[in-house]
Structures are given as structure tokens and as C-alpha cells.
Structure 1
Amino acid sequence: MSFSRIAFTVTAFFLTTSALTHAEEGKFTASPGLQLYSLRSQFKLKGVSRTLDTVKSFGIQLVELAGTHEMPIPEFKKELESRGLKAVSAHYPYKRWQTEPDAVAQEAKELGLEYAGCAWADHKSPMDEAQAREIAATFNQAGAALAKVGIKFFYHLHGFEYQPWKKGETLADLIIQETNPEQVKFQMDTLWVVFPGQDPVKLLEKYPNRWDLMHLKDLKQGVATGSLSGQTDVNNDVTLGTGQMNWAAILATAQKVGVKYYFIEDESSSSESQIPKSVKFLQSIRW
């Protein structure tokens, strides 16, 4: 074989190998949003306008709401729109979903939301099967009310729902299985899966058509897991990529099963400084 032939073969081999490596490499392709509860202290101290300026400075375009901070909905929408921010979803109290789901649906419609949900189901600890079934019924009612105005309901599991149920399943399984899959979706908060000792990848794969939204939240190294309290020190929220989460596996699986929206949520006292670092991490992660 001539030298030129050998050189051509070697070059072709390395080009092919490079192309395969590039094709197999995965990355986070979504545009991460922010759950505005992360900046609740800033909203109180600085007000809506200055805090939303901060959100814009992070390079964030999508947001999830936790109220409008005592501002009328039309005014709050203008504040968002003037900064190129789009509200995709919002959390509302469980009691309102129980007592006035149609009123909540109208507020969500006025805000122009795609999703409206609940971040905490009121319950007596520990949650039992009867409570889980009551919660599922409330969510079905909420989903039906929102469907009338073209919005989907979602529930943000918070950790206490992983009480054992039957045959190796938990009350979280019961709630998911007893709710209407077309009208009731779920939001996975990665911290509130790992902290109670569950596996985000397995849950994503078990219910691939139910997880429409995700909270990206990392748990501080060294914090013990296995608690079903649904509570931990807010300063256990750390910059993405510095905690206990296997982000490559979680994000690869989330993208595979079709999670639509991802929101960074950082409840710590250092959220304003940590959020930009988390954004950079999501831009750089590869698998």
C-alpha cells in the first residue's frame, strides 16, 4: 500500500471516529427557566422591577411564577413582557384547587400560562392512602377546570408522597396512577426526589408521559437522604453540578422522555449568586 493510501485511510478513520463521538455526545438543549420563588427575598427588598431586571441579567427568558407580588396581573404581565420574559407556569395553593379551581383557571388564563399547578398538597403527616386518594381527586378536579380554558394542571411532588404503599410502590405512584394522564401532569423537583431516597432516572422512565416540567435543584454534598418530611434547610440548595445529583443521567433521561420545561429553583440565601453559575453549568454539561 502506498504512503498516500495509508495516509488517506488513517485520516478517514480519525474523521469517522470523530463524527461518531460527536454523534454519541449528548448535551442539555433546552433553554432553562427560573422559578421566581428563588428570588422571593429580592422581590420583597428590591421590588418587582429591579428583581426582574436581575432575572433578565441571568440570560433567562422563561419563568415560573409563585404569585405576582401584590401587583395586579395586567401590570405584572407588562413587567415581564418588557424584559422579554415569558411566564410558562405558576404554583397556586392546594386549598384554592380544592375550593375554587375555576377561579384559579381564570387567573392562569389571564396570565397567559400553559401550565398551572400545586407545589404542596396539604396533609397530615405521615401521608396515608386515604389522603393520597383525596389529593388525586382534587387534582382531577383541577385538571378538568383548567382543561376548559386550554391549560394543563401539574403537581410538584415534594418528598412526603414517597410513603410506602404496596408491592414496592409508594403513595406517589398512587397519585400518579389515579389522576387523568391527559389533564394532570407532574413536575419533578430533583432535590425532592433524591432527598427522600428515590431515583429520578427510574421515575422518569416509569412514567415517561407524565413529567412535563422539572425543577433543577442540587442537594449539598454530605446531606443524608431518606427523609420523607418534605423539608430540609434551604441552604442545602447548592449550585448545579456541585451537589449530589447525577446530572448527566437525569438530563439525558428527561430529554429522552420528553420533559418540556426546566426551571432552576434555588431556595438558598445565596440564590442570586448561585443561579448564574447554575446557568453556566447547564450550558457546559455533556454526556
Structure 2
Amino acid sequence: MRKTLLALCLTTPFVLNLTDSFAQKGKPLYTFPIGVQSYTYRNSFPKNVIATLDTIKALGITDMEGGAPKGMTEAEFKKLCNERGITISGTGGGYEQLVKDPMDAVNKAKALGASYVMCAWIPHQRGSFNLDNAKKAVEDFNRIGKTMKDNGITFCYHNHGYEFQPHEDGTLFDYIVKNTNPDYVSFEMDILWTQHGGADPVALLKKYGNRYKLMHLKDLKKGVKGDLTGGTPPENDVPLGEGQVNIPEILRLAKKAGIKHYYIEDESNKEYEQMPKSIAYIKSLKE
């Protein structure tokens, strides 16, 4: 019997069919250019911009969200990125500066070749984000977003977790989404901070769909219990697929929602070790 089974396993048609079945297991779940948030390399850019960009290129990354490093103009940084086949699709701006001079952010975005400007923090007393903070943000975001739309740029608010403070029958994040003008204000989902703030990224994608235009891909260490501070130690940021975030389902729904750009952001202090693992994980996912 053993000899018969061995002979069956070694026959060429059987081996070929087995190989074919694995090859046809499914199409890649990711169909987007793999991007990176430049904050991932916050410790490297100040030391050597060119070497850092070469590292990013070597990983096969072709899309970036970020701004010009200190001491370099937007045009100079864009040129270095272009030479390495890296497009800067999005950049960011601080809340106060965006309120004060949204056109400055527009001009910097255009100089970088970016189509999106995101804001990642609303000023508030840490751990005590409240309705007044949300109301002011709504007013400011609608005004900033209109200026940007009038000048060909899409404005996005990037959640940081503290916005999921309970409010009425939902959260203050729900309040912000419902009270901002969809024509002027879109959103960037940071999946780690969404999870850390006690929200469900999958449920939010189902609920708000195309209000989301951008996404930060990152994973939260298993066993970590989040809170509403918008902060967690860097060691809690683990390679994609090793944490508690449901990345495959998020990517399926993000694709359906029409997310335009996906940026891996690694906030650990082990980005050179973790980034290749995260990229390999994304490439391994099948529909």
C-alpha cells in the first residue's frame, strides 16, 4: 500500500495538478502601489536623505506621503524621489499652520506633486478630546478644505484614536464626519489608531465608505489594550500581520470603498527590520 501511494505521489500529472491548484488559489489582494509614510524613516532622513530614499526604492516602494526634509526645498525633494521612481501623492500639515495659511500648504503640495494634504492632530487636552474641540475642527476643516478644493487639492483628516470618545449615539468621530462637507473634507484611516481608540476599522469602512480616500497601514501588538490618548509606546507597533488588526478584511473593504493610496507607516524603532516583513505580508494576501 505504501509503495502504491508513493508511486501515485511521484507521478508527473499529480504534481502538476497540485502546483496548478496552488497557483490558482487567488488573485493578490493588493492591487495598489505600495506606499510609505515618510515618518517611518524619521530617524534616517536627517542623517542622509539620498541613502534613505535608496533604501525605500530598494524595497520596491513607489508611492510616498511626506514633505521635504529639513534644509531641502519641495522641488529638490521631488526631483530626488522622481529619479528613484517614487511619487509623492500626499503630504501633511499641522493644524495651526493650516488654519493660519491653507494656501501655503496648497503651494507646498503642488511643488511636491501631491494631490492630498492631511492633518493628523486636532489640538486638545491629551486624553480629554471633547465636543468643543470637535466643533472647532469641523468649522476649520470645512474652511481649509474649501480653499484646497478650489485649488485642486483634496484635504483629509487622519484619525488618531482620541476622536472615538462616546458622543450621543456614536462618537465624536461620527460627529466630525457628519458635520464636515463631503465636498471639502475627506478622511485618511490610520488602522492602528482606529483600533487603539476602541473603534472597528471594518465597521467604519462599511459605514463611511468613500469618505475615506487614504489609509495608513500599521499593526498593533496583540494583547495591547488601547485608550483615548492617541499614543502608545513604539514597541507596540509591529509588522503587518503580526498584530491584532484585521488587515485582510480591511483591505477588501478599502478596495470596495475606493481608497486611493495606502501608506505603510512603521512607528517602531525597528523600521529596517519590520518594513520588509510588512511588505512581504501585504504581497502574500489573496482575495
Fold conserved between structures, TM > 0.5: yes
Q: Which residue number corresponds to residue 36 of structure 1? A: 38
Q: Is the 8 A contact 2:93 2:118 kept in 1?
A: yes
Q: SS of the residue aligned with 2:189? A: strand
Deviation at 1:70, TM superposition (A): 2.4
Q: How far apart are the structure 1 equivalents of 2:85 and 2:260?
A: 20
Check whether the contact 2:68–2:77 (CA below 8 A) recurs between aligned residues: no
Residue 69 of structure 1 and its aligned partner are, at CA, apart by: 2.8
The equivalent of 1:217 in structure 2 is 218
Alpha carbons of structure 1 residues 271 and 23: separation in structure 2 relative to 1, 3 Å: closer
Deviation per residue, 1:179-219 (Å, 9 max, x gap): 11122110000100111111001000110120100000000
**Secondary structure of the residue that 2:43 maps to in structure 1?**
helix
- Counterpart residue number, 1:163: 165
Distance (whole Å) between structure 2 residues aligned to residue 179 and residue 51 of structure 1: 37
Q: Give the superposition deviation at 1:25.
A: 6.4
Partner of 1:258: 258
Write the distance in 1 (CA, Å) between the matches of 2:119 and 2:46.
22
Are 2:163 and 1:134 equivalent residues in the alignment?
no
Counterpart residue identity of residue 219, structure 2 = D
**Unmatched runs of 5 consecutive residues or more in structure 1:** 1-14
Q: Distance in 2 between matches of 1:194 and 1:117?
A: 20
1:262-277 alignment, distance < 5 Å? 262-277=262-277
Q: Which moved more, 1:29-38 or 1:121-130?
A: 121-130
Aligned CA distance change for structure 1 residues 170 and 188 (closer, same or farther; 3 Å) = same
AA at the equivalent of 2:282: L
CA shift for structure 1 position 106: 1.5
- Distance in 1 (alpha carbons) for counterparts of 2:245 and 2:129: 26
Question: Aligned ranges for residues 122-271 of structure 1 at < 5 Å?
Answer: 122-125=123-126, 126-167=128-169, 169-225=170-226, 227-271=227-271
How many Å separate the matches in 2 of 1:280 and 1:82? 24
- The CA deviation string for residues 2-40 of structure 1, in whole angstroms up to 9 with x for no partner, is xxxxxxxxxxxxx9xx99x96986622222200011001
Distance 2:68 2:192 in 1: 22
Partner residue, 1:74 = 75
- CA deviation profile, 1:251-280 (whole Å, cap 9, x unmatched): 111111111110000011101221111111
Displacement of 1:67 in angstroms is 4.2
Q: Give the counterpart letter for 2:274 in structure 1.
A: Q
- Percent identity of equivalent pairs: 40
1:247: how far off? Answer: 1.5
- Tell me how far apart the structure 2 counterparts of residues 222 and 256 of structure 1 sit (CA, whole Å): 29
Ranges in structure 2 where 5+ consecutive residues have no aligned partner: 1-16
Distance 2:201 2:164 in 1: 13
Q: 1:91-124 CA distances to partner (integer Å, 9 max, x unpaired)?
A: 1111111111122112112221110111111112
Greater shift after overlay, 21-30 or 156-165?
Answer: 21-30
- Paired residues of 1:213 and 1:260 also in contact (CA < 8 A): yes
Which secondary structure does the structure 2 equivalent of 1:228 belong to?
Answer: coil
- The 1-side partners of 2:167 and 2:27 are apart by 39
Superposed CA RMSD in Å reads 1.9
Q: Secondary structure at the match of 1:274?
A: helix
The answer as to 2:118 corresponding to 1:104 is no
Greater displacement, 141-150 / 209-218: 141-150
- Is the 8 Å Cα contact of residues 206 and 253 (structure 2) preserved in structure 1? yes
Rounded to whole Å, the distance in 1 between the matches of 2:255 and 2:195 is 19
1:282 match: 282
User: 1:62 is matched by which residue type in structure 2?
Assistant: D
Q: d(CA) in 2 for partners of 1:87 and 1:215?
A: 15
1:148 shift after superposition = 2.1
